[in-house]
Amino acid sequence: MKRWHLLATRIFCSAWCAAALLAVLTSARAGEKSEGGARWPLVYADDFESGSIEDWEPTDPKAWRIGNDIGNHFYSLFQASQYKPPVRSPQNRSLLKSVVVGSFRMDVRLQSTGRDYPHRDLCLFFGYQDPTHFYYVHLGKKTDDHCNQVFIVDGAPRKKISLTTTEGTPWGKGWHYARIVRDVKTGTIQVFFDEMDEPAMTAKDTTFTWGQVGVGSFDDTGNFDEIHLYGEKLKRGENNIPPEGFVALFNGRDLTGWKGLVGNPKTRAKMSEEELAKAQKKADEDMRKHWRVENGVLIFDGKGHSLCTVKDYKDFELYVDWKIEPKGDSGIYLRGSPQVQIWDAQARGIGSGGLFNNKKNPSKPLVMADNPPGEWNRFFIRMVGEKVTVYLNGKLVVDNVTLENYWERDKPIYRTGQIELQSHNTPLYFRNIFIRELPSQ
């Protein structure tokens, strides 16, 4: 109703604007092509008439507000953002909170209000996972390798992935209509602008199969309205999608962020940089022979050595989903030290989750909370200082117990260290590995 009201009341709306509107409202052909003839359900809609922007998370809140033009409200990026991205990518961005999608279609009404120059732009974001991992569509006035393309930001400055595009986006003073259609299974990306029958841009990439969506600009201003998102709504904490405030240690695709095991904290500390680098190279080569990723699951073949995070951690909260086979055995090393125990509880008669290598402090779990071998289990582990708390499948099994230093018994646990998935000569399966670093106390 809002669109038709605007058409009736705004005498300056041109004929092509009306035609574009009709195409958006009546044409489903573009969506049907990418959706295999099936429509995705509507998961979110906002026309901003409520005056609220609580659903949105801008990089710079001072640059965004609700705009009002002849009674029509819209989301306005009205001034330059002070946000500085960690890698070369758009500076002005606002993400839809708490909605994560896989395949999707997003329709949006948009207006550029920036100065007129070749790179005048607005951007649409999708597949957003964190500030250095996402896709965006750059709707720029004059096409070149950095303008009017589809880009990926993958831990490095933006990279063009467009297969086709137009000569440029015809920005003027009026409103336009854009649509993104994303199919994560095939990797296809289609971008439509005003004309909804043929895409203005296409791309194909399977790097990010989930994420948030958003609106913004590289470094200009503009307005956004009537946002409709259709898609496969995904739940955080599943499918290797981190809960709010956490980051994924395992991306569900490959071994990025992981390395092979070299010695232990005590022996590594004695190595020179050259010795450590040489040993690490050999360990990484061995690791890749025995650890692999299949269908979003991290799999160990029962041979070789433990898998370690590249980064060291101090105080943190950690989720880990794990599965073993009958008589399976493993563990989670915290700060490079053993361990939160994983094993076949039915065969052992003692549940998983205990701090197995403790001598002075409790080493056994409070209760047996394991699911049978072959079924998935979930740890929630909190480590602050030398104290560890563990929940297994929602049940408290370790309550604020000191983790002893296995490697140097006369010393407290190390203040920082890597997280390790222990190998123990049995096949292992992991997924949904998420961490939140905590401020030091």
Peptide bond into 339 cis (omega under 30): yes
High-pLDDT (> 90) share of the chain, % = 88
Residue 195: its pLDDT value, please?
A: 87
Residue 2: its pLDDT value, please?
A: 58
Residue 196: its pLDDT value, please?
A: 85
Residues paired with residue 124 on neighbouring β-strands, in sequence order: 137, 215
The C-alpha atoms of residue 290 and residue 287 are separated, in whole angstroms, by: 6
Question: Does the pLDDT value for residue 160 go beyond 60?
Answer: yes
Q: What is the mean pLDDT of the chain?
A: 92
Domains belonging to the chain, first-starting first, are 2-234 (2.60.120.560), 247-437 (2.60.120.560)
191-205: pLDDT as tens digits: 999 988 999 999 999
Residue 331: its pLDDT value, please?
A: 97
Structure-token match 């086709």, residue found: 164
165-198: pLDDT as tens digits: 999 999 999 999 999 999 999 999 999 999 889 9
The C-alpha atoms of residue 170 and residue 120 are separated, in whole angstroms, by: 10
Residues found in the chain: 441
Residues paired with residue 224 on neighbouring β-strands, in sequence order: 75, 110
Among 268, 136, 306, 147, smallest CA distance to 208 is for 136
